Amino acid sequence: MAELATIARPYAVALFRVAKDGNLSTWSELVSEMAQVAALADVQALAHNPNVSAKQIAATFLSVLKSPVNQEATNFIGALTDNGRLTLLPEIAAQFHDLKNANDGTADVEITSAFEMTDAQVQELTATLEKKFGRKLHPTVTVDSSLIGGVRVMVGDEVLDTSVRAKLQKMQVALTA
């Protein structure tokens, strides 16, 4: 996994530099769409097919996209297919998204709750977390009943676990030590 991230990083940085000179939000949407298409099993099989040329792979890939594609994006896909890196697009998109967030002073937050949360609860929790982390957060909420109660929050590599399950695990460690 670390190797894929290392290989994808220069592509993501180069693409971000091009996108910064243009419309960053349009590029962000295009990169997300390209990542979704590249993750499809049929596209992965096409990209690894030795009987299909890089130009054919690029042309087929670009024809599947719904968003309009400019010359820079066409060149980017051409460079990826020429180097056999089209399947790296999901990782490139993730790194591109991280660069965009850093540029905007925002971050993604993954909130895992033991129970379904209302929109008002999510907004209140997000506002509290924004004060703690000092930046605008974009929440994604999932439900995991194994938490028993409370929430688990991930912002980048930071984790705040206030779930009942985490508290029980800490108590177990304390009692068995």
Neighbouring C-beta atoms of residue 14, cutoff 10 Å: 14
- Report the distance separating Cα 152 and Cα 92, nearest Å: 27
Pairing of strands 151-155, 136-143: unpaired
Q: Quote the pTM value.
A: 0.80
pLDDT at 41: 96
pLDDT at 91: 96
pLDDT at 95: 96
pLDDT at 2: 62
Burial label, 167 (beta-carbon count in 10 A; 0-12, 13-18, 19+): middle
Q: Angle at which helices 2-21 and 24-38 pack, to 10 degrees?
A: 150
Q: pLDDT averaged over consecutive 10-residue blocks of the chain (177 residues)?
A: 86 95 93 97 95 96 95 96 96 96 94 95 96 94 94 92 92 90
* Structure tokens belonging to residue 113: 């709750």
Closest CA to 91 of 38, 153, 149: 38
pLDDT at 177: 78
pLDDT at 16: 96
pLDDT at 138: 95
Burial label, 159 (beta-carbon count in 10 A; 0-12, 13-18, 19+): exposed
- Report the distance separating Cα 57 and Cα 77, nearest Å: 9
